[in-house]
Amino acid sequence: MKSSKAKAAFHPGRCVRFAGRRLRVCALALLLAAPSLTFAAEDDEPYWGFSLVFGGHLPQLSALDDGLFQSNLLGDATVLIREGGNTTSGDSQVVDTNKSEIIPFVYSNRIEPVKIGAYGAFEFAWHATPENALIFGLGSWEKTALNVTQGNLPLQQYFVRNIVDSERRGRISYTEYTFGWRHDFRTEGKLRLYSRLSLHEVFDVDYREDYVFRFASTPIKDLLGVRRDLVVQAQTAAVFMAQLGGGAEWMLTDWLSFGFEGGYLLGDRDFELKDVKYTNDLADNDQADITGLPAVKLGNGTLGYLNPSATPEDTRDTTTRLNNYRPIRLRFEGFRFALRLTMYF
């Protein structure tokens, strides 16, 4: 069978066995396989395939799911504890009889983790022989987790009587280039079974978290329907990965097929999110000091998350505040599966 040499050129177990060097092993296997699949059969006329790919990816993002998404919003606010209004003294001076205090507060809106994110891509495949093809692709992935709740937020001196609808949304995404090899190891009628090995340059990794508060009930009528936004953004540069997988393809016509495939993405290191930016539209007269954001910029410039058990007292001192934050280290390793529609020409 023509595929015997191609099978000998690559063994998936070698890529998994050497955890510290698996990307280099996969890259070497791909380079060794490329000449044989390109020049193995001079009598076979090459052809092209174009695929639209839709599926999901389940990466290892426990620092987000079990860390950042469980962090609270902490702060101190000036709160009116006795409303006396203004009176006039005997000498006609206006006297403020209101009494207020600075109190700590915790606003909890924890996000239920979403393990899977949506993946989409398009790929070109150059079939140098009936059994082997080189793959070139461009894809993107995104995972969004959201929670909506209602609670009390102390702004403009009111606490218990301030009721806000809050929406917390965390979103992480990436774009990737793909270069790989596909080997059709079995063909039965219209069914093709294949394995694939691919290298991935994952870039443009972005994280964004939006914390939105909208006043639903408050003694201050001008605040009804008004919103306050807290936004944290971070990103990182390229991450290199390899994927081992396989799939099945059913030929609908001579030029069109539908298939399903799965694989496992391998990475050789953790990565951290950098270029951290934070914005908010809190007003001065809100009289609230946010001392503990769920995510902040750490001393090394990377994104960190607040210990879910931290209290406002822990984050009040600016000199020790960062001691309550933990680094966010992520990996995109995990299973990926997809449906594939391919046109051949």
Element (H, E) at 23: helix 22-39
Cβ-contact 161, 212 below 8 angstroms: no
> Closest Cα to residue 46, out of 98, 111, 124, 118?
124
Distance CA 313, CA 310 (A): 8
The order of strands in the sheet holding 288-292 is 99-107, 73-82, 288-292
In the chain (345 residues long), the average pLDDT of successive 10-residue segments reads 38 40 55 51 78 96 95 92 62 66 93 94 95 96 96 86 93 97 95 97 95 92 90 93 96 96 92 95 90 95 96 95 96 96 97
The pTM (predicted TM-score) of the whole model is 0.83
What was the pLDDT predicted at 24? 56
Distance CA 179, CA 257 (A): 21
Cα three-residue angle 109-232-121, rounded to 5 degrees: 100
What was the pLDDT predicted at 19? 41
DSSP 162-176: -EEEEEEEEEEEEEE
What was the pLDDT predicted at 317? 95
What was the pLDDT predicted at 21? 54
How many Cβ atoms from other residues are within 10 Å of residue 54's Cβ? 12
Cβ-contact 258, 244 below 8 angstroms: no
